[in-house]
Amino acid sequence: MKGQGPALEKKDETKGMNHSGIPASQSAITSQGLDLGIVIPFLEKYGGAERYLIECVRYWQGKHRITLYASSINEELLAEHGIGDKVKRTVIREYFTGEHSILLNALLLPKIWREEIGRHDLYHTHLWPTHLIDLRPMVWFPHEPLRMLHDLSYEQPVEDVARGAGRIIHTYPKYRYDDVDQHLGRAYLAAIDATDQASKPDRIVANSMYSARYLEEVYKVPVKDVVYPGVEPGLFTDLPVDPNLFVTISQLWLHKRIHLLIEAIALTDDTQLAVIGSGPEQERLQNLCRKLGIEDRVFFLSGLTNKELSLLLSRACAFLFAAIREPFGIVLLEAMAAGKPLIAVNEGGYVEVCDPGFSFLLPPFPAEFANKITYLQRHPEIARKMGLEGRNKVMDYTWKRAADQMEGLLLDTWGNSLSRRPVRENVDRRRTLFGIQYYLWYGDGFGEAHWNDDLRTGYVDDKPFIGYYRSDKGQTIEYHFDLLSKMGMDCAILNLHIGEDGANYRELKGIRNVFDIARKTNSPLHFALQLVPGSEDFSQIENVLRMIRSDFFGHPNYLHMDDAPVLFWFWSGAYDADRGLFSVISDTVAPVRNIAVSLRLPSETDEQKLSFRFFEGFTLFSPLEVTEEGHWSRVWSSAYKAAEKAGMRYRVATVSPGYDDRNLRDELRARNPHRFVPRKDGSTYRDCMEFVENLHEQPHLVVISTFNEFHENTHIEPTLRHGELYVDMTKEFVERMKRKWGDA
Amino acid sequence: MNGTAKNDASPPTVYFDSSHVVSETGGTFSLRLSSEALMADVFLSLDIYDLDNRVHPAGHLGWWSFRVDSVGDPLRGELSIEGNRVSVGMEAMECFNHWINEEEVPFRRLVAIAVLRSNTTNAIVHLDEIPAFRTESDHEVYRAVLDRNWDSPAFADAWFVFPRRSTIRIVAPNVFPGDAVGNFCLDVYRLCKQNDISVELYAGRCHLALNDIVRKTDALKGESTPDDTLLYFFSIYDPRLDEIVGLLFNRKIVYFHGVTNPKLLQVFDLELSKSCAQGLRQLPTLGEFDLMAANSTASARVLARETQQELRNIKVVPPGLIGAEQPKGRLRSDTSRREHSGAHFLSVGRMKSHKKIEDLIELFAAYLELDPAAECRIVGGQADRAYRDYLDWVVDHRLGARSKKLRRLENVTDEQLRRIYDEADVYLSMSEDEGFCLPLVEAMVAGVPVFAYGVEAVREVLGKVGIVFCEKDFTAIAASIHSLLTNRKRLDRVIERQYERGRHWLAAMDGRAVLSLFDPTE
């Protein structure tokens, strides 16, 4: 039996954990909250792990942007516990069934989940095997290791459960046993064991000192952080006690040893046992009750509401618990909060919070339990006093305390991870970024997408050095990365068209590859998306924005300015003053630096009416098209100043080498009086550059239009017609400007 | 490990020979053990409880255990009472263990329980029980729970002659007066007696005051003949159902009262909740009866679904009988008193947790905000101690100093109940599970406007009169009640329409619908 001394001593250890403060550098983002991805295999029942997660989320939901991931989500459970709509829910792939499913669920399923889970600032994962999702930074709260590999490996059920020559394997948190062939079972467990330790989360948090030591033993890493679960003491009602009623709460697995409690009840007179919980052992336990002749005294209950649970506990004389090495045992805290003395086995995490004033901690023998049951049954006044003592003790363990401690650990882990990330480019007054328009719409060879597949919109009469490339190919992307680096580009602007069916799949695939390759190659380049809205169905645009937020904004290579991701909008003017669109995109994307790359000029006076102050920067997509050559400088200058006068935060200028879409047969293009602006062997490009060089105010961003828009002949990518002329000009221009502006 | 009889043998049984014990006349009793008791690994235990508080240890006077070396013919014993102490002895049987409560247990009357228990597991194998009294007059008082003058109240006359060779055997798992099922069983028994139809009543358990007329269901097999008619009442798990279905009868009729949703009982009455859950699983077996009847269309719908029968094949017979001379209520024309403050709430029914009395208390608390002089009466018995304790807690927490405005009344006489209806301004039903709900009919004929949570059977009984609600928004319901009670014209219209509906039900409960189940010409 553990005494008061050791329990307090261990608890003090947790007080010294690293969750006291948040580094100052984090304060800006934490004021908006973390973008937190929380993963748990199932969110159906109100078991210990689910309870922990739900109670924490309840406290965090107003402070952080949370997305819950689970293979099944019980909305009623969330609603009952006050989890609101602010917390996003995403159902991830369900567990495999059938042959070898145990292996698939252990090894493959977490990897599938990894693909399904969006990008977040931090991943907080619960239970096994969510650590194998391997997204970072990750705080893993396993609750327990896969005990079938360790202490429960010889606790498998006997033949009336295994039903045959095989064995059953319980890969918690699955609700059902897997019944497998004996040899296969061993092979499965060996394979799982080998992989289990392959992924090391940034932090492992335990629910008790006891679990921490166990996890250290299994994962061979220090587990320093312990967050005890909590309880809501105020929830419980004080009702007169029924001295004959005893309660246990547990899922009905073999290792919960409910059979021990049933045998104990059979050794007592006139007692009743309410077993609250469900699980695969229920039928076997009911049979045991029948054989012992106490089926009229043992009641299996499930699906109770919190209120019902509280009332039933209030009525009980004492709470019984006999599980093998319970990692913590939240239900014991709840029993304490309900003012119930504990009769429990002397092993498990909860022992750390128990003392003899309110608990009998016993060896796992039915007669020992029966003895204490009878004692409390006959001495209800002692039971009452013990219960009061337990209730006083539990006041230290609230869910708010647990949520705060866990939140501290999440923030600490996230803060530590920042120092390991590539530094994001943040533009300020002393630094001008150079970016370039980049297209990922090209298909696999001549005649395929955008390589002369459509004379109306897809005509190309120049040819890139590397031939008619497919945009999403790794070799293409890596070659382009080299060119962008050679030119001194800081970032590339990746175009993504949104049609009635949503995002263009080809471009999206290419964009994903760009980000993946950037990460793998540790590229110093940054990337930002440029959305090209072309749908009247604003929900499509809204969906794409959600996807971008979850999949790309958190990527270390995504371009940020002043600590927020940058999102460019190709702005034709078609959506000017469209409140419908702006209400959708304003709600969805904040906080984001939105920059218009427009076909129209910004308005000094009417931008509020036209774009509702949505844009923080405004530049021309194709400066050569807006007016006659003789007026270029005046009009560009006017546009540049107009953005400033309209109150926009960022100055952005665009340069272009020339323009020629005369080969495109789209009738609308024929109306453009400036559809052909010759390059003049680089002279036109130089004019644009000179304008930028002479700007009265240093821009935050200079955009080259474009790297590879071959239809309009604005490309600077090396081609058979122009060679490397424009790449070299760009390189010199960027070097010159960086020297001039002091950034080189 | 098995201390009970083998599966292929009949389990051992123990029965009292007599219906009761009286201490002043010697306290003797006799027991009959079946021959299987000798072969089984069992012992006999005699348990003595306070009949009005059968709780261990508060109402437990003691137990005496005896080895079963012979079954006797019969076994004789003696129960003696001195003050609040009792002792038990059995002739020619060795008492090898006993326990006597050290605390004094005051009592008015006792229950003696003969139990066969497994030597190995101590599990109960079989039991029987009888009441025990200090004096014969105590016994007479106890028996008065049921009026044994079968001619009153007078129900409908049969329009057929029931075959003389046939007996109607009414079987129910439990028969307790005051309970809807028990009352209906006893009324049908009375109806048969009045029409010279041979009738017997059987139950697994019954109120011990009735054990002179209610026979053990175990006896049914030996006493019934293939000419008989079985009328089987089903409302809860019956361990004998399979056996009963297997017996030969001329006609087997099942009357379905509905089974209470076990989830609504599981906090305060674990046993009842479990029995309801098991009862629900037995419903498909009811399809084996020749004729099915139910207390409402709502119940019939459940029965049809579970037995995969057509709904139209199930007769709907309201679960009550109203005698010709019984008061039919009256339409109150004088509603002027309701214009004043101090509305009287009323709710009637068993104090079981599915009735959601706590919600009524919440509603009443909300109403007090509108009418501080209001009062509430809750009439009903059979409260589990646990539920009663909980309701006390709710009253304390919700009403506090205003607790006296709410009164709970048990064991009221019919006359008292009529007076209570007369004084009521509004009838409330917050129940979340009903098979029929007779008090609604009583309220309607008494001219009391009804506000009820709209479960299916309640809506069926009300038939679009009264006022139902589907959300328990106590503030909104309180406002609705207040609005009705302060609008005399509307109130009169509601009461008038309710009264017509109530009359419809009274006519339907005169006994003809029950007799039609036995009509040999159909």
Going by the DSSP 8-state scheme, the letter that residue A558 receives in this structure is: B
pLDDT at A173: 67
The three-state secondary structure class of A444 is: coil
pTM check: above 0.80: no
- Cα B255 from Cα B262, distance rounded (Å): 20
CA–CA min distance A289, chain B (Å): 10
| CA dist A570 → A143, A179, A573 (Å) | 48, 57, 9
What is the tens place of the pLDDT at every residue in A652-689? 999 999 999 998 988 888 888 899 999 999 999 999 99
Report CA dihedral (B56, B61, B67, B70) to the nearest 10 degrees: -120
Site of tokens 């050791």: A6
Q: By C-alpha distance, which of A114, A13, A58, A37 is closest to A414? A: A37
Q: Which helix (H) or strand (E) holds B236?
A: none
Of B122, B274, B386, nearest to A242 by CB-CB distance is B386
- Cα A364 from Cα A220, distance rounded (Å): 30
- Cα A475 from Cα A469, distance rounded (Å): 9
Cβ within 8 Å, pair B56-A244: yes
Cβ within 8 Å, pair B267-A239: no
- Cα A146 from Cα B412, distance rounded (Å): 62
Q: What is the distance in angstroms between the CA of the first residue and the CA of the last residue of chain A? A: 70
Dig out the tokens for B421 from the structure: 């209806």
Beta strands of B154-236 (E only): which ranges? 168-175, 199-206, 214-216, 229-234
Dig out the tokens for A673 from the structure: 């009086």
- Cα A351 from Cα B173, distance rounded (Å): 47
**Series of mean pLDDT values for 10-residue runs along chain A (744 residues):** 31 34 43 87 87 94 94 93 92 91 91 89 94 93 86 63 58 70 81 85 95 92 94 81 95 91 93 93 92 92 88 95 93 94 96 96 95 96 96 92 96 85 51 94 90 89 90 92 95 95 93 92 94 89 88 90 92 89 72 92 89 92 92 92 91 96 88 92 95 92 96 95 95 93 67
Cβ within 8 Å, pair A293-B121: yes
Q: What is the distance in angstroms between the CA of the first residue and the CA of the last residue of chain B? A: 54
Of B121, B263, B389, nearest to A303 by CB-CB distance is B263
Contacts of B267 in chain A (CB under 8 A): 304, 308, 311-312, 315
Of A269, A293, A315, nearest to B386 by CB-CB distance is A315
| CA dist A429 → A636, A649, A741, A742 (Å) | 21, 11, 10, 11
Dig out the tokens for A336 from the structure: 């304490």
Q: Which residues face B112 on adjacent strands?
A: B48, B130
Cβ within 8 Å, pair A296-B55: no
Per-residue pLDDT, averaged over B399-418, amounts to: 90
- Cα A640 from Cα A602, distance rounded (Å): 8
pLDDT at B35: 87
* Residue of B101, B117, B387, B389 to mutate when probing chain A, most A C-beta within 10 A: B389
Cβ within 8 Å, pair A239-B390: yes
Cβ within 8 Å, pair B121-A292: yes
The three-state secondary structure class of B348 is: strand
Compute CA B291 distance to the chain's CA centroid, rounded to the nearest angstrom: 23
Of A245, A293, A301, nearest to B124 by CB-CB distance is A293
Dig out the tokens for B383 from the structure: 């409260």
Cβ within 8 Å, pair A301-B1: no
Q: Does B270 touch chain A (CB under 8 A)?
A: yes
- Cα A727 from Cα A486, distance rounded (Å): 8
Contacts of A292 in chain B (CB under 8 A): 121, 123
Contacts of A291 in chain B (CB under 8 A): 1-2, 121
Backbone φ and ψ for A248, nearest 5 degrees, come out as -135, 150
DSSP states of A140-181: EE-SS--GGGTTTTT----HHHH-SSSEEE--TT-SS-EEE-
Q: Sort strands A652-655 and B214-216 into parallel, antiparallel or unpaired.
A: unpaired
pLDDT at A4: 31
Cβ within 8 Å, pair A312-B385: no
What is the tens place of the pLDDT at every residue in B234-285? 999 999 999 999 999 999 999 999 999 999 999 999 999 999 999 999 999 9
Cβ within 8 Å, pair A266-B121: yes
Q: Which residues of A607-623 are buried (b: 16+ CB within 10 A; e: fewer)?
A: beebbbebbbbbbbbbb
- Cα A692 from Cα A677, distance rounded (Å): 19
pLDDT at B338: 52
Within 8 A by CB and 6+ apart from A148, the residues are A169, A170, A171, A172, A189
Q: Which residues of A243-253 are buried (b: 16+ CB within 10 A; e: fewer)?
A: bbbbbbbbbbb
Contacts of B3 in chain A (CB under 8 A): 293
Contacts of A315 in chain B (CB under 8 A): 267-268, 386, 389
Cβ within 8 Å, pair A293-B393: no
Q: What is the CA radius of gyration of chain A?
A: 32
Dig out the tokens for A79 from the structure: 């609603």
Of A267, A269, A293, nearest to B56 by CB-CB distance is A269
- Cα A121 from Cα A553, distance rounded (Å): 9
Backbone φ and ψ for A627, nearest 5 degrees, come out as -165, 175
pLDDT at A186: 81
Site of tokens 């429990």: A344
- Which residue from A minimizes the CA distance to B116? A293
pLDDT at A184: 81
pLDDT at A585: 83
Cβ within 8 Å, pair A311-B390: yes
Compute CA B409 distance to the chain's CA centroid, rounded to the nearest angstrom: 17
- Which residue from A minimizes the CA distance to B2? A291
Q: Sort strands A676-677 and A659-660 into parallel, antiparallel or unpaired.
A: antiparallel
Chain B residues 380-399 within an 8 A CB cutoff of chain A: 385-386, 389-390, 393
Interface ipTM? 0.82
The three-state secondary structure class of B81 is: strand
- Cα B270 from Cα A245, distance rounded (Å): 10
Q: How many beta carbons lie within 10 A of that of residue A313, not counting itself?
A: 27
Cβ within 8 Å, pair A270-B268: no
Task: Please check the confidence at residue B145 and state whether its pLDDT lies above 70.
Answer: yes
Task: Please check the confidence at residue B330 and state whether its pLDDT lies above 70.
Answer: no
CA–CA min distance B56, chain A (Å): 7
Going by the DSSP 8-state scheme, the letter that residue A348 receives in this structure is: S
Going by the DSSP 8-state scheme, the letter that residue A576 receives in this structure is: T
